[in-house]
Structure 1
Amino acid sequence: MYDFTADLIFHFLIMIMIPFIHKISSYRGDYWKTSAPLFSVLFLALFLTMTFPVEIAGGQFFDLKFIPVFVAYFYIKPLAGFLTIFALISFKGFFSPGDIWIALVNYTIISVLFFYASKFYKKCTFRQKLSIAVVFYLPITITRYVIFLQKDINEDAVYLLMFSAVSIMTLSIIIYLIEMNLVQENMMEKLRNAEKINAISQLAASVAHEIRNPMTTVRGFLQMLKNEKNLTADQKTFIKVSLEELDRTNHIISDFLSLARPETSVASKVSLSGLLLEVADLMRPYGLMTKVEIRTSIFEGIFIMGNPNEIKQLFINLMKNSIEAMPDGGILEVSAFKRNTTADIQIKDEGVGMSKEKLHMLGQPYYSTKTKGTGLGLMISFDIINRLKGKYLIESTQNKGTSFTISLPLYYSPEEIRQPSFQNMSEGQRMNES
């Protein structure tokens, strides 16, 4: 009993290295710098647990090799899981050549199941993740118990139950610690962004107005010079470029001010259908400059609560970004419809698209995919969506385009609230198309 308990503690300490290394490597930021140390400790834990297995009874040896495989699949990538299983089978062939085919069949099945489960694992809650881990581990426990029955060593089954309980507890603790690491990283990232926004707000509040005053004077003089008759072609070009840069600077200052300005807007009932059509008409001339065609598919009668000026600014920003993502022309599709209790708006372009790394960075201060961008436009857009209590989803493929989907709570009159009839689309609802 003493040796059995000591072995269990030893294996627990081996496995607890995994969340510890995950915590340390997560501060490195870069994906490969984070994953490489974690994969290395998974490989080491796998080697140690298989080299020094726990002896239960009658020459039966068990280990915790399931845990490194699980972590590799669900917290790095399926490819890391495949490599971990390959290492596991290689170790099995070295330590116990007679069982290699059983291990190959078992972990091939596990590998397929893990691959499909990993697609939705990250979207699950913490309890759901624990449930998935337990569900996957239970068949292993049942299989081991069947072996005990076949070899007629039932009197030592209590040791197997203790080992299985410790295994599930160890896996649960590792999942908990890794999830807490991820939550802390997310909170730290939000805190860093909040500090940047606060710094921008203070900067905007202190200097924006002072910068705008001399800019207005300079722009006025340049506008007067532009009307002079004796200017050369080069001088006219210089003045035109100067005016454009002043306008761009003024736009950036407006973005700063919108971040620093205290929120005093009053929400009211807004016709989202009409507003989207208005913004689409407003952006068509801008799109024609780069041969971008704007197509709308917007259902009538969609109303939300919010500030109409902010909502208009939100969709102007998004459509402008989509148009600028198609320098060689293309089609910009704007659609909106009701889905249960939300209004779903999709803005889809055929532009240059973005990688997953760029998608992750979107909305952060000073980050922009455009050479002359500041990143403030999208940050303001995300802030408006949050104030409207909405959600957004961005999907993008490089060289194919980007889709920006927004879900906003619908507005319902008191009569509709008393007699709710939330349907996706009513039969009499008409679609605006242009």
Structure 2
Amino acid sequence: MYDFTADLIFHFLIMMMIPFIHKISSHQGDRWKTSAPLFSGLFLALFLTMTFPVEIAGGQFFDLKFIPVFVAYFYINPVAGFLTIFVLISFKGFFSPGDIWIALVNYTFISLLFFYASKFYKKCTFRQKLSIAVLFYLPITITRYVILLQKDIKEDAPYLLLFSAVSIVTLSMIIYLIEMNLLQEKMMQKLRDAEKINAISQLAASIAHEIRNPMTTVRGFLQMLKNEKNLTADQKSFIKVSLEELDRTNHIISDFLSLARPETPGASKVSLSGVLLEAADFMRPYGLMTKVEIRTSIFEGIFIMGNPNEMKQLFINVMKNSIEAMPDGGILEVKAFKRNIAAEIQIKDEGVGMSKEKLQMLGQPYYSTKTKGTGLGLMISFDIISRLKGKYLIESTQNKGTNFTISLPLYYSSEEVRLPPFENRSEGQRINES
């Protein structure tokens, strides 16, 4: 019993280095630099747990090789999962050549199961992730128990149950620690974004008006020159381009001022249905320019607390991005309905979609998927959603389109109970399904 307990502690400590390595590597920033150390740590854990398995009284050997495979699939990517299983089977062929075919069949099945499960795992809550881990591990425990019964060594059953309990606790702790690492990293990213926005706001407030004044003067003189009759066609074209660029610069300054402007006080009850319809009608002519049809399905009687001008700006920004993502035309669907005492708005396009890297960069200052964009539109939109105490979910598939879902708390009286929107999602979530 002493040796069995010591082996359990040893294997527990082996596996605990996985979240520790994840914590260190998560600060690297670069995707490869983040995955490579964790991948190496999984290989080391796999090698140690298979080299020094836990032995119970009846001569049965067990290890925790399931855990590195689980982490590789669900916290790195399926390719890392396939490689981990390949290494596992190679180790199995070296340590127990007679069992290699059983391991090959078992882990081929597990590999396919994990591959499909990994597609929705990241969308799950922490409790759901723990349930998935336990659900996947239970068949392994049951199979081991059946093998003990077939070999008529029932006296080892308590050891097996204890080992399985420790395995599940270890896996749960690893998931918890990794999830806490990811949550902390998200919070740090939010702090960095807040610092960027604060710096931009201060810059905007201090110089925007000083820039706009001389620009107004320049634009006035250009307008006067444009009306001169003795100008050549080229000169008129140059003046036209100059005026367009001045207008674009003025639009960028307006975006800066939107960031610098303090929160609008005195939020009131606003008809979300009405504001969303106004925004859709406002964007229809813009959509027709690129053969984009805007279809609306908006429930009536949806009210929230907020500022109607900010809400309209939010919806126009998102619709404008969706329309510009369909240069060859398409359908833009705008839906709004109630879900669990929350208002849910879905804006779905049939555009070019985005890669995972582009999706994660959305809303960052100076980043835009458009050649002449500044990235301020979506940054302002995310800021408005935050001020409205809402949440958002962006799902995108390359060459298929993007679905932008916004959830805002409904207007409610003091006697009513408010449920949080997107109860099972983080404040801002982006999912790439390419």
Q: Same fold (TM over 0.5)?
A: yes
User: How many residue pairs get matched?
Assistant: 417
Does the aligned pair in 1 maintain the 2:53–2:62 contact within 8 Å? yes
Q: Which residue does the alignment assign to 1:424?
A: none
Q: Cα deviation per residue 1:234-288 (whole Å; 9 max; x = unaligned)?
A: 2211211111111111111111111111113332233333333332332233233
Query: For 1:201 and 1:9, how far apart are their aligned partners in 2?
Result: 53
- What secondary structure, in the 3-state scheme, does the structure 2 residue paired with 1:27 have? coil
1:151–1:271 Cα change, 3 Å? closer
Residue 52 of structure 2 aligns with which residue?
52
Letter aligned with residue 111 of structure 2: S
String of CA shifts for 1:389-417, please: whole Å, max 9, x gaps.
333222222233322222333446799x6
Give the alignment of 1:86-97 within 5 angstroms: 86-97=86-97
Q: Match of 2:134? A: 134
Partner of 1:114: 114
- Which residue identity does 2:110 align to in structure 1? I
Alpha-carbon spacing, 1:398–1:133, altered in 2? closer, same or farther (3 Å):
closer
Q: Distance in 2 between matches of 1:6 and 1:159?
A: 13
State the shift of 1:33 in Å.
2.8
3-state SS in 2 of match to 1:28: coil
Q: TM-score, normalised by structure 1?
A: 0.86
Counterparts in 2 of 1:180-219, with a 5 A limit? 180-219=180-219
Cα contact 2:264–2:307 (8 A) shared by 1: no
Q: Does 1:33 align with 2:33?
A: yes
Moved more, 199-208 or 143-152: 143-152
Report the residue type matching 1:354 in the other structure.
M
Q: Counterparts of 1:164 and 1:277 in 2: how far apart (Å)?
A: 56
What amino acid does structure 2 have at the position aligned with 1:237? Answer: S
Letter in 1 for 2:29: G
Cα deviation for residue 70 of structure 1 reads 1.5
Equivalents in 1 of 2:4, 2:287: separation in Å? Answer: 73
SS of aligned partner of 2:26: helix
Structure 2 partner of 1:422: none
Residues 1:63 and 2:63 are matched in the alignment: yes
1:222 aligned partner? 222
Amino acid in structure 2 at the alignment position of 1:275: V
Rg larger for: 1
Q: CA deviation at 1:305?
A: 2.8
Correspondence 1:290-329 to 2 at 5 A? 290-329=290-329
- Residue of structure 2 in register with 1:248 after alignment: 248
Alignment gaps of 5+ in structure 1: 419-434
For residue 51 of structure 1, report the CA deviation from its aligned partner. 1.7
Q: Show the 5 A alignment for 1:354-365.
A: 354-365=354-365
For residues 35-65 of structure 1, the C-alpha deviation after alignment (integer angstroms, 9 at most, x for no partner) is 2322222122212211222222232222111
Change beyond 3 A, Cα 1:6–1:342: closer
Question: Is the CA contact 2:54–2:61 (under 8 Å) kept in the aligned structure 1?
Answer: yes
The aligned residue for residue 179 of structure 2 is 179
Distance (Å, rounded) in 1 between the aligned partners of 2:178 and 2:187: 14
What is the CA–CA distance in structure 1 between the aligned matches of 2:329 and 2:120, rounded to whole Å? 36
Q: In structure 2, list runs of 5 or more residues that go unmatched.
A: 418-434
TM-score (normalizing by structure 2): 0.86
Report which stretch shifted further, 104-113 or 397-406: 104-113
Amino acid at match of 1:269: K
Give the Å deviation of 1:106: 3.2
Question: Higher mean Cα deviation, 69-78 or 4-13?
Answer: 4-13
Cα RMSD, aligned residues only: 2.7
**d(CA) in 2 for partners of 1:19 and 1:363?**
29
